[in-house]
Structures are given as structure tokens and as C-alpha cells.
Amino acid sequence: MNTYHLDLNDVDDIIPELANHFGTIYTEHLGEFNLNIPASKGEGNIKVINFPNGIGLHTYHVKFKDDTQLRLSHLQVRPIRFLYCVEGKIDSSFGQFEERETVHEHEYLIAAPKDSETHNLLIPEEKEVVICYLEIDRLKFQQYFSFDLKELEPIFYELFSDTEATKRISERASFSLRTAESIKEIRNTEVTGFPRINFIGAKALEILSFMLTRFKRNDENQDKKRLKDKDMKAIETAVEYIDANISNTGTVNDLSKIAGVNTNKLQEGFQVIFGKTVNEYIRDIRLTRALNILSTGNKNVSEVVYELGLSSRSYFSKIFKEKYGISPRKVLSRKPISQKLKEDKAEK
């Protein structure tokens, strides 16, 4: 097993430290760090971006040749991590000899080491692993509150008030497809530059909201509408099919057959998880894709309508404006400043 002990003085140190251990280089643009895994170690990449509100977003899409353990030691910051496993599995432990806790696909873990204790992440060899975690500097995060921390509900006060890291936290729960969808939107977005950074920041807060809501439900044991695991798997199958076939998703009846449940169960599952009907979910996924494509300026409205499997340009324009408050044509007409500067320079 390859073990890398990372002594981190600052939240931005993890990618440079990993690059040093791996004997490779990394890139940084607008505060987003990117490290491609060298072929000698495996394949994939790790991306990290930290925001002024104390929230950092770490995404791993990796496949290591050997078992790989990252021993994270923060020398100044006392972080709490909200880790979500999108694909594969990962082990979490603390200190030197603590028992490992395995986080499987679509499970999440809220973890915080005690002061002077390492948080260890073990990624198994030859397994494709996709994880995303929010790393929160609790002290900095508090400074962005517009209210006294003591106004928080007790369950959240306990999570965020321990800025001295006097207690260890390790709470695991399963299945949060809403979280998975937000992570997928981050990974699939075609938005670039400064708009990308703002998009990721907003999605990071959305992911945190989903995780805190699920954590509260688990703690209070009030999740009365929790679906059975087999029904959750069926919803996951439907979601994956929709994502891969957005231009031709078929009818709800078609999707229910693919998922292996009846239409009523499928609709119930989408309402419980996403608060939407199946068709509303498909519509919103199409609109999100449309916004990303149009923002790049590489395709016109008609091309986007065709690519997303919509038959009516006027209907698309109507629902797009209802959701975003702006017409598709106006999004397309808003060229990036850099592009405008290039065009102005060329004219001169």
C-alpha cells in the first residue's frame, strides 16, 4: 500500500503536496487546482477549489494501481468533511490504529478528526472511484454567518461550533441521489472561466444543504418516506438512463420498464427524492444542459433544441425563460468579455 502523509498548513496545500508526493505537476486557474494522476500511480484526476466562505470542494475521479492511503493532517485549520461516494468505495479512519469505516457507492460520511489527529482516506487498488467532499473551515465558515452561531439548531451547532476540534465526528448514511445529481452537474458543466467558479460555488452550497437535511432526518429518525433499497436502485437506474439518453428518454412507462418498477412506484420515488414528477425531472435536466451549452456560445438555439430531443423551439424558449428569467437567444447573444475584446481588437 502507498501511504502519503500530507501536512497541510493551508487549505490550498493539498494539491501541491500530492503533486510533490506523486512526482508530477499541477495546474491552477482562478483558484481551482487540478492534478492529473501520473501513469506510474494510476489514472484520473483530483480537483480542489476553496471559497472565501470557508468551504472547499474536492472531487476525485481516480483509479490507482495500488491501495492508496492519504493521511490528512491540518496544522492550523480544524476542518469538518462532508464526503459523498459517487462510484466505488472508500475507507475512512482516524489516527494510527483506528478501525476503518467503509463508505460505499451513494453513501456519505460526515467526518472530523480531533485536534492533532489525522483523517485517513484509503482508496482501493484497481478500482474506479469517484468521490466528492466538502471541507469546511469551521472558524472561517462562522464568520460568514449573518447571525449568532447559537441560533443554529442544536444538531448543527454541535457540528460547526467545535472550532478547537475537541470531539471526533464520524456519521455515515446512505443514498442521496439529489446530492449525486448536483455533483454530476459540476462534473458535466461546460461553463468555463469565472462563471464556472460561481457555478461550482453555488452547487457546493446546494450539496451542503442536501447533506445537512439528510443528516438531520437520520438523527431525528423522521425520514418516514424512505424508500426501500431496491426502489432506490430502480430510481438510480432511471436517472442514469435519462442522463445518457436525454435526447430520447422515452415515456414514463418506458422508463419504468427499464428501472424494473411500475409507473406509480417510479413517480413516487422521484417525488420523494427530487420533489418532482419524472417528466418535470427530465425537463429540468434538459434546461440545465441547455443553459450550459448556450453559455459556451458554440451552438445556436435550434441546435440545442435538436440535441436535447425537443420538438418545439417556441416551447423550449417558453420553459427556459420561465426557469431562468431570460430567453435562450439573450443567453446566446451575451458573448464572453474576452471574446468581445478579441473581436474589437481584430476590427482595429
SS3 state of residue 131: strand
Q: Where are the domains of the chain?
A: 2-220, 229-333
Query: CA-CA distance, 61 to 49, in Å (whole number)?
Result: 15
C-alpha cell at position 310: 425537443
One digit per residue, the tens of pLDDT, for the chain of length 348 reads 899 999 998 889 999 999 999 999 999 999 999 999 999 999 999 999 999 989 999 999 999 999 999 999 988 888 999 999 988 999 999 988 668 889 988 888 999 998 889 999 999 999 999 999 999 999 889 888 888 888 888 888 888 888 888 989 888 876 667 788 888 888 878 778 888 888 888 889 988 888 888 777 665 554 445 667 788 888 888 988 988 888 888 899 999 999 998 999 898 888 877 778 999 888 888 888 888 788 777 788 888 888 888 878 888 888 888 887 778 888 776 554 344 334 444 444
Query: CA-CA distance, 239 to 233, in Å (whole number)?
Result: 10
Name the amino acid, one letter, at 288.
Answer: T
Q: Are 289 and 246 in contact (CB under 8 A)?
A: yes
Q: How are beta strands 89-94 and 101-104 bridged, if at all?
A: antiparallel
CA nearest to 77, candidates 6, 165, 169: 165
Query: What residues contact residue 347 under an 8 Å CB cut-off, 6+ apart?
Result: none
Task: For cell 436502485, name the residue.
Answer: 233
325 backbone φψ class: left, alpha, beta (φ>0; ψ -120 to 50): left
Complete DSSP assignment for 257-302: HHHTS-HHHHHHHHHHHHSS-HHHHHHHHHHHHHHHHHHHTSS-HH
Predicted model pTM: 0.73
Say what the pLDDT of residue 121 is: 94
Q: Could you confirm whether domain 229-333 is CATH 1.10.287.130? A: no
Say what the pLDDT of residue 340 is: 38
Q: What is the CATH number of domain 2-220?
A: 2.60.120.10
C-alpha cell at position 39: 501513469
Say what the pLDDT of residue 175 is: 61
Query: CA-CA distance, 27 to 217, in Å (whole number)?
Result: 39
Say what the pLDDT of residue 97 is: 65
Please report the sign of the dihedral spanned by the C-alpha atoms of residue 96, residue 97, residue 102, residue 108: negative
* 218 sits in which H/E element: helix 193-220
Beta bridge partners of 101: 92
Terminal-to-terminal C-alpha distance of the chain? 60
